[in-house]
Amino acid sequence: MKESAWPPAEVRFSPGARVLFLTKDLDLIRRQLHEGLDLRMDDLTVSDLLDDINTDVMTPAWVCFRHRPEDIALDAYAGLLDADGKRVIGTRELMDGGFEAIVSGYRKGTGSSRETAAQCERWSGIRLVFAASFAPIHERNNLNLGQLMGDHAMLRRLQAGESVPLAEFTERYDPVTRLILEGGGLFPFSRQVTAGAIVLAPNATGARPMTMAEKMIAAKMLNPGAEGAYVAPGDAVLARVDGGYSHEFTTAQVHTFLAEEYGADYQVQNADKLAVFEDHLLYADGVARFAPFVAQIQTLRDLQNEFQVHTGVRDYQARDGVSPGICHQIAREEFVDPGDFIQATDSHTCMGGGSNALTYGVGATEYAALAHSGFTFVKVPESIRFELVGELAAGVTAKDVMLFILDRYAKREDTLNRSMEFGGPGLASLSVDERATLCNMATECTARTGICEGDELLADWLAARRPGQTREQIAASFVAPDAGAEYAGGVHSIDLSQMVPMVATPGDPTYGAVIDALGEVKIDIAYGGSCTAGKVDDFAYYAQVCAEAVAAGRKVADGVQFFVQFGSTPVQDHARAQGWLELFRAAGVTLIDPGCGACIGCGPGVSDTKEQVTVSAINRNFAGRSGPGQLYLASPLTVAASAFEGRIVAYREGMFAGVAAEAGA
């Protein structure tokens, strides 16, 4: 396969072509790299291949400090570690291996939306990617880069010496995606659209009841059909984007891509509703293991500032080392509105769905293209609906609901690449912050996004944060599903009153366990924060537990560090006004200014050794993401209660009173 001829009309392996199989037996991977072991798909089964390879494994945070794709490829798969914590694929080994294809099992590319994961393969010379299934954002990133993705049956044919027509790689996609792939990627396609060389025909879908995601896409569609703006799952449309944002991990690539494609004087659309954030790497300079990368991190900051000055987009960069907050939290506080279509370079962009908006993450290539044009390509997703009934019991939170959904539905791929819609009478019992938690973790379900219905509670919350807008005006913008809307993933009733405190055990958010059945798990670190758990209501949970503990004469357990990090400056200001800062300090809590911190492995709260155990309120617990230790995901209440007990426990009101009475006796 020659790069200049990509993609060929007939795909075939070059003579002596190498294929790298990512197997569960890590020694087999090393033997392919070091001994020239030649494996064939005929000799393996899907169960022999690694599943759930996440983007942190493909390009850990420190690799993302580089903004040039070829530099990223140097350390492809740097996060794939053996039981001793040693890298399976070393520096340059993928790049120098001469591999034309790479193979894995189910759900390739879960986790973060980072496009660097796809780039590390692309710029190592790999153009063919085979897996049993792909996580949606990662699949889109591959498509945008012009990577061809196939199944294991196609690989068998290629290894047998056959050629496979390009059409077989593209036929499962919609007409627009086929044009993107056949043209070699997103930028060539965008240039053709802008030049008028490609004009999409009116969308063929006629009048039909629609889900919330479908209605929001239809409202932004640039090529409506004869009967009006209607879409159905699988439709390929161009849609106007209302806004978006990037952060210092990704803005440098966006800036570089735009300058390379459109010249140094490039422009962006809707600058007043685009933004840059400095939140992910705010504390990286103080992390010992990142010391070798300080100069690269500063380059990312400098390039982001250059992008902001050039474009005039909203500026949420740090001042004097203090960030306004995490991008997803600030965005929902300040500019994500009901019915908006928002895209950003982070997988937790879907958090904005708590405000009845369509929001999801994209890679740097896709974001650069939409920022320049004001529109983007959308393949309308299927939907799955969760009808909430009842109310949560004391001590149970939306985080527990999501851990239940991950264990029950995401594990069997019911949510894969679908829009998760939340509604029903039980939704009214959840605060707006708790709804944001539901939508935030849709990406952990490998869903496209999450969306909550709007109601009076949301109207009040937004009116308090949108000067000049009344609650009536806001309510009028809500988007609700139509009666009779079709849900390919089904409609599932969740009785909130039956939910119990849960954790996700180390390794993956889908490894759910009920705390009462967990057994004794002693902890070294408790961490509360991140976009998932750094909101006002999350801090109310931390304060509730701390207040009870302090009243009982308790402090954080000996040998345990309890960190709490604010999601935004407004959250921090609220906590200060409530007197919670003094309460936290009295309890022995270490407070951290707004930012992503330990969630991205860049700040206090990260484990130092593999023996350490952390209970954390963040959203994902992939190996190595927040240090080398074992990490359990839990609710803010569980995290706080566990910090005082020194082991993972479910919070129960008054749980410290008995201890205080015994001490008094």
Q: Do 527 and 447 have their domain in common? A: no
Mean pLDDT, to the nearest integer, of 133-159? 94
551's tokens: 């009243």
pLDDT of residue 491: 98
Q: By the 8 A CB rule, do 416 and 381 touch?
A: no
pLDDT of residue 657: 79
End of a domain among 308, 343, 378? 378
* 395 pLDDT above the threshold of 90: yes
35's tokens: 């001994």
Residue type, 548: E
Answer whether residue 513 is part of any domain. yes
Q: Is 597 helix (H, G, I), strand (E, B) or coil?
A: helix
246's tokens: 């990037």
Mean pLDDT, to the nearest integer, of 569-580? 98
Q: How many CB atoms lie within 10 A of CB 90?
A: 16
Task: Provide the strand spans (E) within 397-556.
Answer: 419-423, 449-452, 491-495, 502-504, 512-514, 525-528
* 149 pLDDT above the threshold of 90: yes
Q: By the 8 A CB rule, do 340 and 157 touch?
A: no
Residue type, 28: L
Q: What average pLDDT does the structure give for the chain? A: 94
Task: Provide the strand spans (E) within 4-114.
Answer: 10-11, 18-21, 99-103
Q: Do 59 and 128 have their domain in common? A: yes
Q: What CATH code is carried by the domain that includes residue 406?
A: 3.40.1060.10
Q: Is 139 exposed, middle or buried (0-12, 13-18, 19+ CB in 10 A)?
A: buried
Q: Do 160 and 245 have their domain in common? A: no
87's tokens: 């890298």
Regarding predicted confidence, which is higher, 190 or 264?
Answer: 264
Mean pLDDT, to the nearest integer, of 601-621? 94
Mean pLDDT, to the nearest integer, of 560-585? 98
* 665 pLDDT above the threshold of 80: no
pLDDT of residue 658: 62
Answer whether residue 345 is part of any domain. yes
What is the distance between the alpha carbons of residues 259 and 264, in angstroms, rounded to a whole number?
5
* 183 pLDDT above the threshold of 90: no
Q: Which of 284-288, 379-383, 495-499, 645-649 has the lowest mean pLDDT?
A: 284-288
Which stretches within 183-326 are classed as H helix? 186-194, 212-220, 251-262, 294-311
pLDDT of residue 137: 81
Residues spanned by the domain of 362: 236-378
pLDDT of residue 4: 54
What is the distance between the alpha carbons of residues 517 and 260, in angstroms, rounded to a whole number?
55
What is the distance between the alpha carbons of residues 537 and 547, in angstroms, rounded to a whole number?
15
Q: Do 583 and 660 have their domain in common? A: yes
Q: Do 152 and 11 have their domain in common? A: yes
Q: What CATH code is carried by the domain that includes residue 33?
A: 3.20.19.10
Q: What is the pLDDT of residues 298-349, one digit of tens each?
A: 999 999 999 999 999 999 999 988 999 999 999 999 999 999 999 999 999 9
Domain count, the chain: 4
Answer whether residue 196 is part of any domain. no
Q: Do 74 and 94 have their domain in common? A: yes
Q: Is 508 helix (H, G, I), strand (E, B) or coil?
A: coil
Of 445, 540, 505, the residue nearest 633 (C-alpha): 505
Q: Do 485 and 541 have their domain in common? A: no
pLDDT of residue 218: 98
Report CA 229 to chain centroid distance, whole Å.
29
Q: How many CB atoms lie within 10 A of CB 593?
A: 17
What is the distance between the alpha carbons of residues 301 and 533, in angstroms, rounded to a whole number?
26
Mean pLDDT, to the nearest integer, of 630-659? 94
Q: Do 592 and 614 have their domain in common? A: yes
Mean pLDDT, to the nearest integer, of 198-206? 89
* 1 pLDDT above the threshold of 50: no
Mean pLDDT, to the nearest integer, of 442-470? 97
pLDDT of residue 261: 86
What is the distance between the alpha carbons of residues 390 and 392, in angstroms, rounded to a whole number?
7
* 520 pLDDT above the threshold of 60: yes
Look at the block and give the residue holding tokens 């490894």.
511
DSSP 461-476: HHHTTSTT--HHHHHH
Q: Do 186 and 266 have their domain in common? A: no
End of a domain among 191, 206, 226? 191
What is the distance between the alpha carbons of residues 118 and 478, in angstroms, rounded to a whole number?
36
Residue partners of 283: CB distance under 8 A and separation at least 6: 592, 595, 597, 602, 603, 604
* 283 pLDDT above the threshold of 90: no
Confidence at 509, pLDDT banded by 50, 70, 90: very high
pLDDT of residue 660: 46
Q: For residue 71, give Cα distances in angstroms to 68, 188, 237, 609.
A: 5, 23, 34, 28
Q: Which of 156-160, 354-358, 360-364 has the lowest mean pLDDT?
A: 360-364
Answer whether residue 207 is part of any domain. no
Q: Do 516 and 443 have their domain in common? A: no
End of a domain among 498, 519, 536? 498
Answer whether residue 216 is part of any domain. no
**Cis before residue 202, ω within 30 degrees of 0?**
no
Residue partners of 519: CB distance under 8 A and separation at least 6: none
Answer whether residue 222 is part of any domain. no
Answer whether residue 601 is part of any domain. yes
Confidence at 293, pLDDT banded by 50, 70, 90: confident
Q: What are phi and psi of 646, to 5 degrees?
A: 80, 10
Each as own residue / partner, the long-range contacts of residues 90-98 (CB below 8 Å, 24 or more positions apart, any chain) are: 90/33, 93/33, 94/20, 94/120, 94/121, 94/124, 94/126, 95/123, 95/124, 95/125, 97/18, 97/20, 97/32, 97/33, 97/124, 98/18, 98/125
Q: How many helices (H) and strands (E) does the chain have?
A: 24, 24
Q: What are phi and psi of 94, to 5 degrees?
A: -75, -40
Q: Do 526 and 648 have their domain in common? A: yes
**Percentage of the chain exceeding pLDDT 70:** 98
What is the distance between the alpha carbons of residues 514 and 407, in angstroms, rounded to a whole number?
11
Q: By the 8 A CB rule, do 616 and 605 touch?
A: yes
How wide is the angle at C-alpha 350 spanned by C-alphas 344 and 356, nearest 5°?
Answer: 115
Q: What CATH code is carried by the domain that includes residue 307?
A: 3.30.499.10
Q: What is the pLDDT of residues 402-454, one digit of tens each?
A: 999 999 999 999 999 999 999 999 999 999 999 999 999 999 999 999 999 99
Q: What are phi and psi of 124, to 5 degrees?
A: -100, 5
Q: Do 438 and 512 have their domain in common? A: no
pLDDT of residue 659: 55
* 5 pLDDT above the threshold of 90: no
What is the distance between the alpha carbons of residues 195 and 41, in angstroms, rounded to a whole number?
43
Report CA 454 to chain centroid distance, whole Å.
23
What is the distance between the alpha carbons of residues 136 and 138, in angstroms, rounded to a whole number?
5
Residue type, 636: P
Residue partners of 391: CB distance under 8 A and separation at least 6: 426, 429, 496, 497
Answer whether residue 197 is part of any domain. no
Q: How much is the pTM?
A: 0.85
Q: What is the pLDDT of residues 87-135, one digit of tens each?
A: 999 999 999 999 999 999 999 999 877 889 999 999 999 999 999 999 9
Task: Return the exposure string of 18-45: e unless at least 16 CB atoms fall within 10 Å of the residue's CB, then b.
Answer: bbbbbbeebebbbebbeeeeebebeeee
Confidence at 273, pLDDT banded by 50, 70, 90: very high
Mean pLDDT, to the nearest integer, of 481-492? 98
